């Protein structure tokens, strides 16, 4: 059984990616100082399921707080499409901002809220 492949991009199209196997029934919203301001709706997958199709040169990285999550954003339009980090057991993962996926309406998803301010 093949897992669904999702395509996403930043607003201007300078950065494009594909990711396999996102579970859109387990999306997360967060109230940390970054996610709340961005309005991110996050879905997660193993890093090995992620492919950057275009735009490595257009990406910039932002680290804050414990500097454990590598937030990637487009230097042209400023959109954060994804971040890289680790699962509690140390596995590499990608957190995709569902707002940047093609043909997915994140407002129709039932997201769990994470209290990122407490971390």
d(CA 76, CA 72): 12
pLDDT value of residue 1: 41
The verdict on domain 5-113 having CATH code 2.60.130.10 is no
Using the structure block, give the residue that is written with the tokens 């919203």: 29
Is residue 96 within 8 A of residue 81, CB to CB? The reply is yes
Supply the pLDDT for residue 2.
Answer: 53
Six-digit token pair at 94? 């990608």
Angle at Cα 28 formed by Cα 110 and Cα 19, nearest 5°?
100
Alpha-carbon gap, residue 69 to 17, rounded angstroms: 18
Full strand arrangement of the beta sheet holding 50-54: 5-9, 16-20, 50-54
Output the six-digit token pair for 51.
Answer: 């492919």
Rounded to two decimals, what is the model's pTM? Answer: 0.88
Question: What are the tokens at 42?
Answer: 């996050």
pLDDT in tens, the chain (119 residues): 458 999 999 999 999 999 999 989 999 888 888 878 888 999 999 999 999 999 999 999 988 877 778 999 999 999 999 999 998 899 999 999 999 999 999 989 888 877 677 76
Where along the chain do its domains lie?
5-113
Closest CA to 85 of 116, 47, 28, 58: 47
């Amino acid at each position: 059984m093949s897992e669904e492949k999702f395509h996403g991009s930043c607003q201007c199209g300078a950065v494009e990616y594909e990711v396999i196997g996102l579970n859109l029934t387990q999306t997360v919203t967060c109230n940390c100082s970054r996610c709340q301001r961005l309005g991110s709706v996050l879905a997660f997958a193993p890093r090995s399921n992620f492919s950057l199709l275009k735009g490595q040169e257009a990406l910039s990285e932002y680290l804050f707080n414990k500097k454990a999550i590598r937030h990637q954003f487009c230097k042209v339009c400023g959109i954060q499409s994804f971040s890289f980090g680790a699962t509690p057991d140390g596995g590499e993962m990608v957190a995709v901002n569902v707002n940047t996926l093609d043909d997915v309406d994140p407002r129709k998803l039932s997201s769990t809220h994470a209290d990122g301010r407490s971390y």
